Amino acid sequence: MPEQSILRFENVTVTFDEIPVLDGISFEMRRGDTCVILGAAGSGKTVLLKTAIGLIKPSAGRVFLFGTDITELDEQELFDLRAKTGVLFQEGALFDSLTIEENVAYPLVNQRAAKRKKREIRELVEESLRFVELAHTLDKFPSELSGGMRRRVGIARAIVTEPPLVLYDSPTAGLDPITANTIVTLIIKERDVKKTTTVLVTQRYQDGHLLANFRYNPRNGQVEPVTGNGHSDTLKTRFLVLRQGRLTFVGDQQQLEASADPYVSKFVKREI
Ligand SMILES: Nc1ncnc2c1ncn2[C@@H]1O[C@H](COP(=O)(O)OP(=O)(O)O)[C@@H](O)[C@H]1O
Ligand SMILES: [Mg+2]
């Protein structure tokens, strides 16, 4: 039995001022899939994520989120589907005037489907911040934290509703390599502990490589290389490469590394 379809693009085109920014995009993710989207700046990565949650409407094609065609839905109907999708926006996009606690609580407070008590919200926020090891920052403001910490708060906010699907937009951009790896480690932990379907948008192949080859070990709390029957695990991670709004590559890591397309291989060779 195939797993439930979580996200499906059917020949999606998005145009701004008559210029196609996404051009005939098709792919599908099933429950538990990991998808790494690589692409240069301006290739359409952020537009693709925004289209996935209905923030941008396609000019042609269809987008199915949790099996529902969202291209025809109104805002109200979209709201509840979006509540099942966690998003780490580019740069973290925290509210500067809100405390860390208020920032992380934001999706809970705004979730109509689940009316929650104040105490329950506080507990969920604390749990989410503990997950990213920032429980001590509740009363601070974003400006008091480092760039890497702010990114971790963004992750805490994205996952506080325990969404079955999480989209991460360039979570390591602008971070030093060590901090970047800490962020990817958290994404792996979230994926493996909560069994979330994961989309990672990045310009760093290294991020995708980590996602494809490392797994969280709950026994020791470490992220470890996949061993033994790891081959099938590696194959679970799919790589998509965007070039000027088109998908020029869809495949697994081995296929990606073997690609003769110079645009595709540029991503693979740059880092490792
Ligand atoms: N709201 C918008 N209106 C017009 N053009 C846009 C808008 N959002 C993005 N674009 C254009 O779409 C292209 C892809 O943008 P984006 O998805 O942000 O790229 P990236 O891959 O860097 O995330 C860029 O050329 C950008 O200028
Ligand atoms: Mg972007």
What are the pLDDT digits (tens) for 2-48?
A: 679 999 999 999 999 989 999 999 999 999 999 999 999 999 999 99
Residue 181 lies inside a defined structural domain of this protein: no
Whether residue 271 is predicted with pLDDT greater than 60 in this model: the reply is: no
Range of the domain at 26: 1-84+165-173+199-272
Nearest CA to ligand 1 atom 5: 16
Confidence of residue 153 (pLDDT cuts 50, 70, 90): very high
CA of 41 to the centre of ligand 2 (A): 7
pTM value > 0.85: yes
CATH number of the domain bearing residue 5: 3.40.50.300
CA of 111 to the centre of ligand 2 (A): 26
Measured CA to CA, the distance from residue 203 to residue 217 in angstroms comes to 27
State the virtual CA torsion across 175, 178, 183, 189 in degrees, nearest 10. 170
Residue 134 lies inside a defined structural domain of this protein: no
**Single-letter amino acid code for the residue at 229:** N
Residue 63 lies inside a defined structural domain of this protein: yes
Residue 89 lies inside a defined structural domain of this protein: no
Establish whether residue 16 lines the binding site of ligand 1, counting it when its CB lies within 6 angstroms of any ligand atom: yes
pLDDT digit string (tens) for 166-192?
Answer: 999 999 998 999 999 999 999 999 999
Residue 158 lies inside a defined structural domain of this protein: no
Residue 41 lies inside a defined structural domain of this protein: yes
SS3 state of residue 14: strand
Report the pLDDT value the prediction gives residue 83, as an integer from 0 to 100: 85
Ligand 1 pocket mutation pick from 36, 38, 43, 47 by most atoms within 8 angstroms of CB: 47
Measured CA to CA, the distance from residue 70 to residue 78 in angstroms comes to 7
Residue 31 lies inside a defined structural domain of this protein: yes
Nearest alpha-carbon partner for 22 in 56, 55, 65: 56
Residue 10 lies inside a defined structural domain of this protein: yes
